[in-house]
Each structure stands twice: as C-alpha cells, then as structure tokens.
Chain A
Amino acid sequence: MVLAALLITGLGGCTTWDNFNKAFINPPEEIRETIKIAVLEPLTGADAKAAADEVAGIELAHEMFPTVLGKDVELVFYDTKSDMEELKEAAEKLTSEDVSLVLGCYGNAMTIAAGDILRQHFMPAIAITCTNPLITRTNPFYSRVCYIDLYEAEYNQVEHKLMDPDSELYAFGAEYVVLFQSTHKLGERHSMLDAAAQETLADERLAFIEAVCSNPRLADKKVICFNYPEIDDAVFGSYADKVVSSFTFQVRKLNYGLMTLAQRTSNLYVCDIAALQNKVGRDVMFLPNVYTSTEMVLSVDVLPAVAARVLDIICALRGNIKKCLILDLDNTLWGGVVGDDGWERLQLGHGLGIGKAFTEFQMWVKKLRQRGIIICVCSKNDEDKAREPFEKHPEMVLRMDDIAVFMANWETKVDNIRAIQKVLNIGFDSMVFVDDNPFERAMVRENIAGIEVPEMPEDPAEWLEYLYGLNLFETASYSGADAERTQQYQAEAQRVTLAKSFDSEVDFLRSLDMKATVSGFTPYNTPRVAQLSQRSNQFNLRTVRYTEADVAALAADDKAVDLSFTLEDRFGDNGLVAVVVMKPMDEESLFVETWLMSCRVLKRGMEDFTLNTMVDAAKVRGYKRIVGEYIPTAKNGMVADHYRRMGFTATTDSRWVLEMESYRQHDCCIETKQ
C-alpha cells in the first residue's frame, strides 16, 4: 500500500524512493554512475490494480539487484494511465530522456502500440507478462519473458470447438492444440451403449481423433492428444481381457490405436499420461471426493506432473532436448572402486553384492545409446584402470564402443565435461551428468550452467525408477540414423587426432577424402531433415523448426528450392549434415528461409560447398540473387557473421544479398558424389 502511494505521488518525473532517500535523507559519499530503466506501466486508471503485481515484481528485482556492472540502477516510472493516447505520449517522452531500457507495459495491445514507437527510436524493451507473439515477431527491440498464450475451451466443449469451423479455437491459430478427453467421459459413453456398440467405441474415438488431425486448419499445427489412464471397473474381473465390449478392452484398444494412429499421422503426438498413472498409481492420479465435488478428473497433486509431460513434448518439438549422457564410473556404473578393488571384484551382475542394480542401470544406458543418445565417461581414475572393466569384465553391458568420449584422469569433472563439450560441439543444456557423489554433482551443477544433474537417490537400487520419473530424454523425432551417432562422434575424435599431424589445414582436409551428396527432400530423408531442423541450434541462421509434415509440404511445393547434403569421408559417413530451403521473393530473388548445418562438420569447407550448390540451383532456375537473413537466438552466435564471411553484402533492412553474376565458386576439398 505504501509502495503504491509513493509511486503515484512520484509520477511524471520521477524519482523512486531509493533516489529520494539518497538525495535527501542519506546522501551518498561519492557520486556513482547510474543506469536508468524506464518502467512503462499503468500506475493509474483501469489497469492499475492488475498491473500492480508487475510493478511490485520490478521493484522487488530492483531491491534484490540494485546495481549492474558496478553501476547503480534507477527505475524511472512513466504512467500510461491505462489509456492508449497517454501511453503513446509516455513512450515518446521516455525515448527523449536518458533511459537505457524499458520494462512493460501491461496488456498485449498497449505493448504492441508502445513497441511501434520504441522501435523507431531503437529503444530495447522487455514485456513482463505479455504473451502475444506479435509483440516480438516484427520488433527486434522487444523481448518477452512469458511465452504461453493460451486459449482454453469451455467445460465439456472439446468436440464442439473442434467440429465447428467458426469456433474460437481456429480463429486463435494456436501452434499446439492439447486434446484431453478423460477416461471418465469415455466410461459414461460406454455405459450408454449396447454391447454391440461398445465393441466399436475405441474405433469411433480413433476416427474422431483422426478426423481432428486431418482437418486442414490443423494440418500445420501440432495436436498433442492425451491417452487414457485405465479405470478397472471390475465388471468382468480379469475376464474383461477376453471380452471385446468390456471397458478395459476398449480403453486398452484405444491406447494402442492412438499409438498406431500417431505413427502414420505426422501432426499427432500422444501425451502418455497412462504411463504417468502407471508410475504414481491410480489412487494418486485420481481423488473420487474431489472429482465428485468439482468434476476434476486429475488430482491436484498430479497436475504438475501432467503439465510437465505436456511441456516435455512441446520443448522437444521446439528443439529443447537432451542429446548426451555423461557417466561417472566407480559406484555409478559399477559397485566398488576399480582402482582399489581391481576389475575382478567389482559388483556387477547377479552374483556379487548389489551388482544387479548397476547391471540394470547399464542396460538402460545401452538402450539410450541405441536410441541415439551420446554416452560419455567422466571419471577420476587412471585411464588404463578405468578401461579394464569395459574390456575384461564379462558382466559389463556397456563396452568401449558404446562410449563416444572417454575421459578418465585426475582433472576436475568440470574441466573434463568442458573438454567433452569441445569434442561433441553441443550445448551444455543438452547434457545430463550422472554421478553417485553429491559433492561432484554440486560442483558440476554450480560451474556448468544449463547441464542437467539429477539428484540421485542414495541407494542405487532406486536409481532407475527415479530416472524413469524424470523423463529426461523426451524427443519429437526418431530415425534409424540416430543409432549411428556414437560411431560418428568416435570418428570425429579420430579426425581430431589426425588433424594434429598435418602442417596445413588444406592438407588435412584433402586427406579426409570428403564426398558429399546433394538431393531435394525425399520420402527417405524427410524424417532426417525434420530431425536435423529440430536438433540444430548453433549453425542455424533462422532456426525454423520443421515437422515431417512441413518437410513433405516443402517437397511438394514447386516454387521452394530444397537442398539436403550428406557427407562421408575416410573415417565414415556423417549422414545428413546440412539443409537449405530457399523460396522466391520475386522473379529475380530467392530468399534463404533455412540454412542449417550439423556442428559435426564444422571447419570442413561444407558451408562453401553448400553455397556453391545453392548458387548453381538458383542460376538454373533463372534467379539473379540470393537474399539471406540472420535471426539471433541464445545459441546461434557462431553464425552472426556468416553471410559476410560467405561474401554477401548487407542491405538496409538488415538482410544480406549475394548477386550471383559476380559469384566465383568457392574453393573446397569436397567432391560431389554421383
């Protein structure tokens, strides 16, 4: 209350209490430099009450972090008075004053309007609670920190909203549609049917979901459909498995049918909350008294876990996935300390101590490796001792050829994980580190930002169930090529060794004997192209993510120029390594919608080879120039200067252009494989 009163009397100028305090009550001994941050918020008018939380949050952050880079931060308040004209006036005013950044303002429409003015003055701004993507989409000076813009169907209106072509759902244009129909509703329907109709309940539901996914208005969206946690109604007991019309049979058939439907429907993703119920149990998942009094079909306690399962899928679809698992050895991969006990006495397998827990943990790791997760070792050990179990112990499940990078030495784990990162060239936030030792875990967590370090239970017997519950390795795609990834990284380690033996980089590159294939998008490479677009963060100029359906649509689009590149060398086949999508802007110009490359083939001249190919493809189609664009993200800084390096010229609208008339083929050591 006091805070609000102060803010209101301090309008229009405006000093905060801090500055008032410094100026009149406790003057500072020395004058320090001050950074001024504008707070553009409705301090009065209709929105003031709702925006008060936003303002309080800013004040709190300011109180916690009153300085930046040793300079004092001062908040300067500008009142929008909850009015569009007042807002514009305030935004204009602040741009003429000595502020470095704007926080605010409240409401999507107001913020978009403020953004137009701030952009004209190159004034950076951060919206606090705004969710409308339009605020940031066309304005590089505005950032948002709140990302979910949600439309929710009214109670019991799921089918209506999906079937009505004029419904708010379609007008809203959401990227993701989450479809959750409860097992209870299914049971209600089941109870109203005769036995013959009960036998086709699952088919009828599946046809509905298939119709939803094939609706052209959802074709380029992602439909995330919850499956059905089972309710055993005990009408037939276990005999229900023999009765097609039983509820148990139909629920299981429906869940199985959803899996097969999702396999042939590229925009359908199943959110497996039946698996969640298997983990936590029916009696945690569901509370009858709460359901009966409120209609909630999920218990309050399980809601965070359900939300996490949905977000896991959305994060994976947006390329936020774990790619690598780094393992400690002693008392993590086996029981005991190999340096002290010798490999013969390690606890592994069914005979010795709690060996079974470690063996089953290794089996899980092996399955992750087969799926395409990169497995690395990081252990404080002598390397030869650490290798012995992998080479000699008959009950080891993991062998040396399962490990992409093997770090066993006496450096710190933090240093070793950084070294692993250099070889793999992936972000720390795509790594998981498993270690039994709480000290090592804390050290890694504190020193490597972004890495996931599960807080392992003390008893190794508990590990697997604990790790299952974290669902760390959600993915949005899978292709057979994933399984070859470990070999590719092992080959990369060999290349790094070979490179050191050459005097010049060109000699080294020539010795690799590199051959590339170029092709458009085909049914064969469609899943791979989609996957690379979802995984690539660093060498990715515009970070456009494609689903398989998107890739197929590009392949069918005559105007789009699609290029995919594979690269092999004397150490092996890297598989698909680069993707380019170009679309016509006008009769003479092609715009590069996507240019991305796997970081496994950096510094091999692949970008030159790619550009040569792009120019050839554009010329054949009669174009005169190629226009590129770099959209910065947190991770693609390495290509900020890419177009300049490749010989493009900056344009006034912050794009890059290459006039092909004067283009000379770039030299590179890669041949085209026919």
Chain B
Amino acid sequence: MDNKEILHKVEEVFRDVLDNEEITLAENTTANDIEEWDSLTHVELVRAVEKAFGIRFTSAEILSWKNVGEMVASVARYKA
C-alpha cells in the first residue's frame, strides 16, 4: 500500500468520523484546515485510523505529527 492509497483511506476515515463528506486531505493538511478537528475528535480520529488499518500507533508517534502527511507516513511504516 503506497502513501497515496493510505491518504485516500485516511480521508475516508476523516469523512466518516467527522461526518463531513466534503473533507479532502492533502499531505500538508493540519487541524487548522478542518473545522471539526478538535482535541477530542483528534483522539477519535487516531482510534479510527488505527482500526481501519489494524495497527496501533506508539504514543510518541501520536505526539509527533505536524500534519496529515506525517500520520500517513506512520501508517506506511506498519504497512510497508
């Protein structure tokens, strides 16, 4: 699974969790770009992404992300 495919699947998770079909994600998307993305929905998103890919992030990874691209890169590490 390449980063593009992962991004696409992450985007679906975001749309589902945040209940907004108009969300489009790019590598440089941050929480500032998406209104519904706050501290609580962030935790929901992390869990939903974990479930969607059947993985478990480390706490350091969760804290390290600066944008969606870095989250995708973390997923890629498990799915390589």
Contacts and interface: CB of A to CB of B under 8 A. Distances in A.
B43 A294 contact: yes
B44 A300 contact: yes
B37 to A, nearest CB: 14
B57 A296 contact: no
Contact of B47 (A288, A291, A292, A299): A299
Contacts of A290: 43, 46-47, 59, 62
A26 interface: no
B8 interface: no
Contact of B59 (A289, A299, A300, A301): A289
A293 interface: yes
Given A289-B56, A289-B57, A301 B47 contact: yes
Interface string A281-297: 00000011111111010
Contacts of A301: 47
Nearest to B47: A300
A293 B47 contact: no
Contacts of A299: 47
A293 B44 contact: no
B63 interface: yes
Contacts of B60: 293
Nearest to A291: B59
Interface string B18-31: 00000000000000
Interface string B29-69: 00000000001001110110000000011111011000000
Nearest to A290: B43
Give the bracket for the number of chain A residues in contact with chain B: 10 to 19
Give the bracket for the number of chain B residues in contact with chain A: 10 to 19
**Residue of A291, A296, A299, A300 with most chain B CB atoms under a 10 A cut-off:** A300
Nearest to A292: B59
A269 B60 CA distance: 38
**Residue of B42, B59, B63 with most chain A CB atoms under a 10 A cut-off:** B59
Contacts of A300: 43-44, 47
B39 to A, nearest CB: 8
B62 A289 contact: yes
Contacts of B39: 294
Nearest to A289: B59
**Residue of B43, B44, B60, B62 with most chain A CB atoms under a 10 A cut-off:** B43
A291 B47 CA distance: 12
A289 B42 CA distance: 13
Contacts of A296: 43
A299 B51 CA distance: 13
Q: Describe B's contact surface by its main secondary structure.
A: helix
Contacts of A288: 59
Contacts of B43: 290, 294, 296, 300
Nearest to A293: B62
B60 to A, nearest CB: 8
A292 B42 CA distance: 14
Interface in A298-314: 299-301
Nearest to B42: A294
Contacts of B59: 288-293
B51 to A, nearest CB: 9
A288 B56 CA distance: 10
**Residue of A290, A291, A293, A294 with most chain B CB atoms under a 10 A cut-off:** A293
Contacts of B47: 287, 290, 299-301
A300 B46 CA distance: 10
Contacts of A291: 59
A289 B46 CA distance: 10
A632 to B, nearest CB: 36
Interface string A102-138: 0000000000000000000000000000000000000
Interface string A640-657: 000000000000000000
A602 B47 CA distance: 55
A4 to B, nearest CB: 15
A290 B57 CA distance: 9
A287 B58 CA distance: 11
B44 A289 contact: no
Contacts of B63: 293
A57 to B, nearest CB: 14
Contacts of B57: 289
A301 B62 CA distance: 17
A300 B50 CA distance: 12
A290 B56 CA distance: 10
B58 to A, nearest CB: 6
B16 to A, nearest CB: 14
A296 B62 CA distance: 13
Nearest to B64: A293
A476 B71 CA distance: 46
A290 B43 CA distance: 7
A288 B63 CA distance: 13
A285 to B, nearest CB: 14
A296 B42 CA distance: 12
B32 to A, nearest CB: 17
B40 to A, nearest CB: 8
B12 to A, nearest CB: 18
A299 B44 CA distance: 9
Contacts of B62: 289-290, 293-294
A299 B48 CA distance: 12
A288 B47 CA distance: 12
A293 to B, nearest CB: 4
Nearest to A288: B59
28 contacts: A287-B47, A288-B59, A289-B56, A289-B57, A289-B58, A289-B59, A289-B62, A290-B43, A290-B46, A290-B47, A290-B59, A290-B62, A291-B59, A292-B59, A293-B59, A293-B60, A293-B62, A293-B63, A294-B39, A294-B42, A294-B43, A294-B62, A296-B43, A299-B47, A300-B43, A300-B44, A300-B47, A301-B47
Given A294-B43, A300-B47, 17 more contacts: A287-B47, A289-B56, A289-B57, A289-B59, A290-B43, A290-B46, A293-B59, A293-B62, A293-B63, A294-B39, A294-B42, A294-B62, A296-B43, A299-B47, A300-B43, A300-B44, A301-B47
Going nearest first, the 3 A-B pairs with the smallest beta carbon separation are: A292-B59, A293-B62, A293-B59
Interface of A: 287-294, 296, 299-301
